[in-house]
Each structure stands twice: as structure tokens, then as C-alpha cells.
Structure 1
Amino acid sequence: MVVLAILALALCLFFALWYAISPQHVWRTFYAWRYRDRDANEPSETTYFLQRIGGIVGSIFAIIGIIVIIALALDGQAKEYERRKQIEGQQLQVQTVGHFPEA
């Protein structure tokens, strides 16, 4: 599940960086085919600027999300390791106590 979340955020990061680096290329790839005269219907520089800002913000959120998911996964693994270690210790105590004769 963690791997799936990281892959999804990595895909989001890819598209966000693409928007941040070249919003014109994104428009030509995904939207220009809809218009007969794509040059006449191309977005303004302000639109490209806002898309670039959105790509930067999206990239930051995706990076933060990846870091948080990895940190939570590592924390969960550490807690699971400690829990298993504690359970094994309790089982060892139960087994050890069972070997002593009662007084």
C-alpha cells in the first residue's frame, strides 16, 4: 500500500514538474488537438505563469507527501519491530516460568 501511494505521488510529482518546467508543452500535448487553429487559441502568458506556479506548489506538496509516507512507513516498521520483540520476550518469560517446579 505504501509503494502504491509513493508511486501515485511520484506520478503527481512528474506532472507537476512538467507543468512547472514547460506549461506550453503540456498545453500542446493535451489541449491543442481540440482546436483547428491552435496558435489562435493558445493561453496567455499569465495563464502559463499561473500554471507554472501551480506546478511548483504541486511539486512541493508531492515531495512533502512522499517524505511523510516514507517516514510513517519507517516509523510503523520500527514500532512493529519493537512490538514483536516485546511479544517474543513475553513468550520467552512464559516458557522459562513453566520449567520451574512449584514449591
Structure 2
Amino acid sequence: MGPAFLVMAVGVLVGGLMVAAPRHIWWVTQSWKFRNPEANEPSDVAYGMTRVAGVFVIVLALFIGGAIIHSEFQRKDRREAEEQRRAAQVVFDAPPPENRGQLPVIGYFAEEFPSGPTVTVYYVAPGEAVHSYVRSMSDRFSYPCYTSARVVRADGDRVRVSPELTWAPEELGDMKHVGQCRIGVGRNIHKVSVDHVAVGTTIVTDSAIVDRNGAEIRPAAKGNRVPKLAEKLQTDP
């Protein structure tokens, strides 16, 4: 806080001198410029303006000094908070991943590619959730709430898709999102693609079937048939 006190001390000293002795300041700093200083001495109004300027210097010095002190306290508080966070993170014992249930499915869209037909299945996820590949690719951020989809090619012409929600905190700060990683909290649209799907394949799921707004069409049941969509849907990360 040394710089802050130095600024305030100098400002108060200079400003106080301007308020208390403006005439003396003029005679010390300006009178030597004139052959006849008495005839060129400033008026009382000019001295009054010097006093006003002195008050301004004092106020400005106190303001700047106070701002420096406040800034230093803020930096100290942030530093202490970061040290506490790091200490808490060291002792944080991350719980094992928690499966929070199957996510509702909207439908699928089929398209042809040179490599073969592909089916994209769309499902609804919480607003806090990201797809598992986003979590796996990130080495900077923690994504404790994520979705994934198991794809099983059953006997015959059936493909079973099971999208699931997982809660897996890695850092202490993740715990503040624990209540947001729930089915029905917010709404994102995620997808999973299934390559080399034969024409006529039936896409099924054990999840509920919903529309793109999340309204339930059919409740969760084993072997729910996933409806075919006429167009692709815009997805979230």
C-alpha cells in the first residue's frame, strides 16, 4: 500500500499548500519572471482559483490513493480465494460417475453417403449437458454433465439406441452444477450417428419418445419404435 499512501501524502501536501499559501507560491515560483513583481501580482480572484485548485488536488489524491488501496485489497482477496480453492481441490475426492437415466428420443433422419447409408438419432439432453466427445477432447475445461448413446445392432433388421445421461465431476467447482444435471432441466438436442444401416432397418429405443420441444409422445418402454424425421435437426454441443 506504499504507493497509495505516497500519492495521498504528496497530493494533500501540495493541495494544502495551494489552499493555505497561494500568494507565497506565486512569489516563489512566478515573481522572478517580472521586472516589477508587485505590479504583476495576481488578483485575489486568481489566488482564490488557486485555492480551489488546491482543494481539487487534495480530493483527487485521496480518490486515487483510495482506489489503489481498494484494488490491492481486491487482489489480496482474489489471491486468498484462489489459494483456498486450490487447497480444497487438493483434498477433493471426486465421486464415481453416476448414470442418471435414459434420455428421451425425438426421432431419426436417414441419408445416403458414398460410404453407405447413415442414420442420425436425435435425443433431448439437459441444458448443462455436453456430448461425451466434447468432454473427451477437452484438456482445459471440466464437463461433469455429459451424454452418450449405446448402439446395439440386434438380430434381424433392428438397431437399438440407448442415450444416457452421466454425472461425473472431476473438480470441486463442478459440484455447483450437480442440480442442473437432471433429465428435464433445460433442453439441448444431441445426436448419435449410426453408419452402414441397411435399408428398412427399424430404429428402436427403450427411452420415451418426445417431440422436438420435449413434449412426451410415448412413455418409455422396451422396443419403442423411433419415428423417422423429414429433416435434420439443429443440435447443441
TM, length-normalised to structure 2: 0.36
Per the TM alignment, residue 9 of structure 1 is displaced from its structure 2 partner at its CA by 4.3
Matched with 2:6 is 7
> Is residue 20–residue 52 contact of structure 1 (8 Å, CA) maintained in 2?
yes
> Is residue 6–residue 69 contact of structure 1 (8 Å, CA) maintained in 2?
no
- Higher helix residue share: 1
Per the TM alignment, residue 47 of structure 1 is displaced from its structure 2 partner at its CA by 0.2
1:33-52 correspondence to structure 2 within 5 Å: 33-52=32-51
Residues 30-85 of structure 1, C-alpha deviations (whole Å, 9 max, x = no match): 11222232211111111001111111122112112212221221122112111111
How far apart in 2 are the matches of 1:62 and 1:68? 10
Per the TM alignment, residue 89 of structure 1 is displaced from its structure 2 partner at its CA by 1.7
Matched with 2:66 is 67
Matched with 2:30 is 31
Gaps in structure 1 of 5+ consecutive residues: 98-103
- Alignment coverage as a number of residue pairs: 94
> Is residue 4–residue 66 contact of structure 2 (8 Å, CA) maintained in 1?
no
Q: Which has the larger radius of gyration?
A: 2
How far apart in 1 are the matches of 2:80 and 2:29? 47
Higher relative contact order, chain-length normalized (CA < 8 Å, sep 6+): 1
Which residue type is aligned with residue 85 of structure 1? Q
Which residue type is aligned with residue 20 of structure 1? V
- SS at the partner of 1:36? coil
How far apart in 1 are the matches of 2:9 and 2:38? 32
- Higher strand residue share: 2
- SS at the partner of 1:91? helix
Which residue type is aligned with residue 77 of structure 1? K
Residues 4-45 of structure 1, C-alpha deviations (whole Å, 9 max, x = no match): 354234323321121111111111121122223221111111
Matched with 2:211 is none
How far apart in 1 are the matches of 2:91 and 2:9? 44
How far apart in 2 are the matches of 1:68 and 1:8? 11
Which residue type is aligned with residue 55 of structure 1? G
Percent identical residues: 21
9-18 or 24-33, larger mean C-alpha shift = 9-18
Matched with 1:101 is none
- SS at the partner of 2:91? helix
How far apart in 1 are the matches of 2:7 and 2:34? 31
Gaps in structure 2 of 5+ consecutive residues: 95-237
How far apart in 2 are the matches of 1:41 and 1:83? 62
Q: Calculate the aligned-residue CA RMSD, in Å.
A: 2.1
How far apart in 2 are the matches of 1:43 and 1:75? 46
